[in-house]
């Protein structure tokens, strides 16, 4: 990233609602700077009813690429020219590249989350895992966990029909993994190797998506929220002695994969990690 912006500076960004909490701009700008790329990364708040206009704007303004966050990961798909097979299967896109007006969507949440589990020395293979939520992130994580060999994945959503629809759809893609839509009571009663929160509960309040004190057994917990650094769920996990991680690792690794998708260059992982750590310490 150069110190001055020129007529040839490439613009990248993030679209979602909200976006002001995002750590992606400083992380990605640090990456561009370390690689001496003439590029800038900005955050754009886009309302749900403005998604089609936003995608048209990417083409019209020749924005080089964007990340997509909640609540637009699925709703952007109809407006793209191409979607990678993996993202099509997941039904959610978190990264879009623009090459001469041709927009291609992919999903790096999938790989980013699985890589982040390595910090827990955790492999999903033959494990029983619960996912809270059934949105775009849940779709990517469910696919990633099933693809990595999870034995059983149970999904709970406040709107039960959404969880049931997700499980029905993904069961045809991953027949080797037992997928179930379940009640909160089943989450409480099932011994879990890993519990994953993909909802936004805890991002803007002290609410809990699930009361861990009610749960029979949880070995590990992952909350993909990264701001605040410690949600109420993570605080409760700490109090109960449950090993847990927030969403910083997933943010880092999905960002690394997005950087490579856009530029064709290997992402400066250490630079990006250090930038993130400087923001949360």
Query: What is the share, in percent, of the chain residues with pLDDT greater than 70?
Result: 99
| pLDDT given for residue 196 in this prediction | 98
- 240 has pLDDT over 70: yes
| Inter-residue contact 19 to 44 (CB < 8 Å) | yes
Report pLDDT digits (tens) over 120-152. Answer: 899 999 999 999 999 989 999 999 999 999 999
- 1 has pLDDT over 60: no
Quote the mean pLDDT of the chain. 95
- 242 has pLDDT over 70: yes
- 280 has pLDDT over 60: yes
198 to 41, 42, 107: CA distances (angstroms): 25, 24, 16
The answer to whether the Cα torsion of 82, 84, 85, 88 is positive or negative is negative
| pLDDT given for residue 281 in this prediction | 63
Report pLDDT digits (tens) over 11-27. Answer: 999 999 999 999 999 99
Q: How far apart are CA 89 and CA 80, in angstroms?
A: 15
Q: How far apart are CA 33 and CA 60, in angstroms?
A: 26
Q: Residue 84: which pLDDT band, with cuts at 50, 70 and 90?
A: very high
Parse the chain into domains and list their residue ranges: 10-107+254-280, 111-246
| pLDDT given for residue 269 in this prediction | 97
In angstroms, what is the C-alpha Rg of the chain?
19
pLDDT-wise least confident of 14-28, 106-120, 147-161:
106-120
**89 catalytic, yes or no?**
no
CA 169 vs. chain centroid, Å, equals 20
| Half-sphere CA count of 32, side-chain side, radius 13 A | 23
Report pLDDT digits (tens) over 198-232. Answer: 999 999 999 999 999 999 999 999 999 998 899 99
Q: How far apart are CA 122 and CA 114, in angstroms?
A: 9
Architecture of the domain delimited by 10-107+254-280: 3-Layer(aba) Sandwich (3.40)
Report pLDDT digits (tens) over 58-83. Answer: 999 999 999 999 899 999 999 999 99
Mean pLDDT of 35-46: 97
So what CATH class is 111-246?
A: alpha beta
Q: What is the DSSP letter of 50?
A: G
- 3 has pLDDT over 80: no
Name the active-site residue from 73, 88, 127, 235.
Answer: 73
């Amino acid at each position: 990233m150069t110190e001055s912006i020129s007529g040839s500076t490439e613009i990248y960004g993030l679209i979602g609602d909200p976006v002001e909490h995002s750590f992606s701009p400083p992380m990605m700008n640090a990456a561009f700077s370390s690689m001496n790329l003439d590029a800038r990364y900005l955050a754009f708040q886009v309302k749900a009813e403005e998604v089609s206009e936003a995608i048209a704007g990417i083409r019209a303004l020749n924005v080089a690429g964007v990340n997509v966050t909640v609540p637009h990961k699925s709703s952007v798909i109809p407006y793209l020219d191409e979607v990678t097979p993996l993202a099509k299967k997941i039904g959610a896109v978190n990264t879009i590249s623009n090459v001469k007006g041709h927009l291609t969507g992919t999903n790096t949440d999938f790989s980013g989350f699985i890589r982040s589990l390595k910090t827990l020395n955790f492999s999903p293979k033959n494990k029983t895992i619960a996912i809270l939520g059934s949105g775009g992130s849940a779709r990517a994580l469910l696919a990633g966990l099933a693809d990595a060999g999870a034995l059983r994945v149970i999904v709970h959503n406040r709107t039960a029909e959404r969880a049931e629809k997700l499980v029905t759809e993904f069961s045809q893609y991953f027949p080797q993994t037992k997928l179930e839509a379940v009640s909160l009571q089943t989450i409480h009663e099932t011994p879990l190797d890993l519990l994953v929160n993909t909802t936004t509960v805890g991002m803007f309040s002290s609410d809990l998506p699930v009361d861990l004190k009610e749960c029979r057994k949880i070995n590990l917990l992952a909350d993909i929220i990264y701001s605040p650094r410690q949600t109420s769920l993570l605080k409760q996990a700490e109090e109960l002695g449950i090993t847990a991680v927030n969403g910083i690792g997933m943010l880092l690794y999905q960002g690394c994969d997005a950087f490579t998708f856009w530029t064709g260059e290997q992402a400066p992982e250490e630079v990006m990690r250090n930038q993130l750590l400087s923001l949360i310490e």
